[in-house]
Structure 1
Amino acid sequence: MKTRIYQDGKSIRIRVASDATPQETCAAQELGSYLERMTSAAFDAAEADYDGPVIAIGRAAERYGVSFDGGDDDFLLKTVGENLCIAGGKRGVIYGVYEVLERLGCRFFTATCEKVPFADELVLEELDEAHSPDFTYREHNYYEPRVYAKFAVKSRLNGQQHPISEKYGGHIQYSWFVHSFENIVSPEEYGETHPEYFAMDKEGVRMLTPYKNQLCLSNPELVPIAVAAVRKNLTEHPEAEIVSISQNDWSLDCQCPECRRINEEEGASSGTLIRFVNAVAEELEPEFPRVTFDTLAYQYTRSAPKVRPRHNVCVRLCSIECCFAHAFEECSRERNMAFVKDIRDWHGTGAQLYIWDYTTCFNYYPTPHPNWRSLQPNMRLFRENGAKGVFEQACGALRGSTDLNELRAYLISKLLWDADTDVDRHMEEFTDYYYGEGGKYIRQYIRLLCDTARKEDDHVGFNDKPLHRFLDEAYLDQYDTLLSQAREAVKDDAIRLWRVEKARLSIRYVRLMRGFLLKQELPKEELNRFFSDWESFGLTRMEEWCSPNTTRKALLRGKPVGAMLYSYWADEGPEEL
Structure 2
Amino acid sequence: MTRLGLMLALALLPGVANANTLVLAEKGRARATIVVSAEPSTAEQTAATELAQYLQKITGASFAVVDERQAVVGSRILVGPSREARRLLGARTVASLRPEEFIIRGVGDDLLLVGGRPRGTLYAVYSFLEDDLGCCWMTWYGEESIPHRATLQVQALNRRDAPAMAVRDICCHPNAYSDRQLMQRFLVRNRCQGPDLNFTGDTSPYGGTSQTFAYPPKGWLVHTLFQWLPPDEHFAAHPEWFSLAGDKRVSSRQLCFSNPGLRTALAAAILKRIGEANPAGTYSVSAMDWTGAFCDCADCRALVEREGTPGAPLFDYLAELGPQVQAQFPQARISTLAYRKEQSEIPPRTIRLPENVVVIFAPIDDNFAAPIDSPGNAGTKRNLEDWRKVTNHLW
Fold-level similarity (TM above 0.5): yes
1:12 aligned to 32, 49, 52, which one?
A: 32
1:115 is displaced (CA, Å) by 2.7
Q: Kindly tell me: are residues 124 and 118 of structure 1, through their superposed partners in 2, closer, same or farther at Cα, counting changes over 3 Å? A: closer
On the 8 A contact 1:199/1:253 being kept in 2, the answer is yes
Give the distance between the partners of 1:3 and 1:290, measured in 2 at CA: 48
The CA RMSD measured in Å over matched residues stands at: 3.9
Q: Take 2:243 and 2:129, find their aligned partners in 1: how far apart are those partners?
A: 54
Q: Deviations over 1:32-59 (max 9, x none)?
A: 2334453444514034263654222121
**37-46 vs 99-108, greater mean Cα deviation:** 99-108
Task: Please state if 1:26 is matched with 2:46.
Answer: yes
How far residue 276 of structure 1 moved from its aligned partner, in angstroms, is: 0.9
Q: Is the 8 A contact 1:270 1:297 kept in 2?
A: no
For the 8 Å contact 1:295–1:313, the answer to whether it is kept is no
Is the 8 Å Cα contact of residues 135 and 144 (structure 2) preserved in structure 1?
no
Alpha-carbon distance in 1 for matches of 2:22, 2:164: 29
Q: Distance in 2 between matches of 1:40 and 1:300?
A: 53
Which residue does the alignment assign to 2:148?
A: 117
**Superposed counterparts of 1:152-551, under 5 Å:** 152-162=187-197, 163=199, 165-173=203-211, 174=213, 175=215, 176-203=220-247, 205-208=248-251, 212-231=252-271, 233-234=273-274, 238=278, 242-250=282-290, 251-266=292-307, 268-285=309-326, 287-289=329-331, 291-296=333-338, 298=340, 299-303=342-346, 304-316=348-360, 330=375, 339=379, 343=383, 346-347=386-387, 349-352=389-392, 388-389=394-395
Displacement, 1:236? 6.6
Partners of 2:363 and 2:380 in 1: CA distance? 10
Residue 59 of structure 1 is matched in structure 2 by: 81
SS at structure 1 position matched to 2:106: strand
Give yes or no for contact 1:197–1:216 (8 Å, CA) kept in 2: yes
Question: Against the structure 1 CA distance between its residues 228 and 45, is the aligned structure 2 distance closer, same or farther, given a 3 Å change threshold?
Answer: farther
SS of 2:260's equivalent? Answer: coil
Is the 2:168–2:192 Cα contact (8 Å) retained in structure 1? yes
TM-score by length of 1: 0.51
Contact kept? 1:2, 1:123, Cα under 8 Å: yes
Given residue 58 of structure 1, which amino acid in structure 2 is its aligned partner? G
Deviation for aligned residue 1:330:
4.3
The answer as to whether partners of 1:271 and 1:306 remain within 8 angstroms in 2 is no
Counterpart Cα distance in 2 of 1:98 and 1:317: 24
SS in 1 for 2:335: strand
Equivalent in the alignment of 2:67: 46
Taking a change above 3 Å as real, the CA distance of residues 44 and 284 of structure 1, as seen in their structure-2 partners, is: same
| Cα distance between partner residues in 2 of 1:324 and 1:12 | 39
Q: Is the 8 A contact 1:11 1:43 kept in 2?
A: no
Letter in 2 for 1:12: A
Deviation at 1:183, TM superposition (A): 0.8
* Superposed displacement of residue 13, structure 1: 3.0
CA distance in 1, matches of 2:167, 2:204: 17
Q: Is the 8 A contact 1:159 1:172 kept in 2?
A: yes
**1:255–1:93 CA distance, 2 compared to 1 (3 A):** same
In the TM superposition, residue 169 of structure 1 has moved relative to its aligned partner by 3.2
Q: Select the structure of larger CA radius of gyration.
A: 1
Give the 3 Å change call, closer, same or farther, for CA 85–349 of structure 1 in structure 2: closer
Instruction: Render the CA deviation track for 1:470-497: whole Å, top value 9, x for unaligned.
Output: xxxxxxxxxxxxxxxxxxxxxxxxxxxx
Inter-CA distance 188–155: structure 2 relative to 1 (3 Å threshold): same
How many residues get paired? 345
SS in 1 for 2:81: helix
Kindly provide the amino acid, as one letter, of the partner of residue 286 in structure 2. Answer: S
With the length of structure 2 as denominator, give the TM-score of the two structures: 0.70
For 1:108 and 1:228, how far apart are their aligned partners in 2?
44
Q: 1:108, 1:265 → 2: CA distance?
A: 44
- Return the structure number with greater helix share: 1
Instruction: Return the alpha-carbon distance in structure 2 between the equivalents of residues 269 and 108 of structure 1.
Output: 36
Name the counterpart of 2:111: 84
Partner in structure 1 of residue 17 of structure 2:
none
Q: Displacement, 1:136?
A: 4.1
Counterpart contact for 2:37–2:67, Cα < 8 Å: no
Using the alignment, how far apart are the partners of 1:345 and 1:168 within structure 2? 30
Separation in 2, partners of 1:316, 1:84:
36
**Amino acid paired to 1:62:** R
Structure 2 CA distance, aligned partners of 1:44 and 1:340? 44
**CA shift for structure 1 position 24:** 0.6
Aligned pair in 2 of structure 1 residues 321, 141: CA closer, same or farther (>3 Å)? closer
Task: Report the residue type matching 1:86 in the other structure.
Answer: L
Contact preservation (8 Å) 2:21, 2:155: yes
Identity percentage of aligned residues: 26
8 A Cα contact 1:216 1:259, kept in partner: yes
Q: Give the counterpart letter for 1:85 in structure 2.
A: L
Bigger shift: residues 221-230 or 278-287: 221-230
1:218 aligned partner, one-letter code: S
SS, match of residue 245 in structure 2: coil
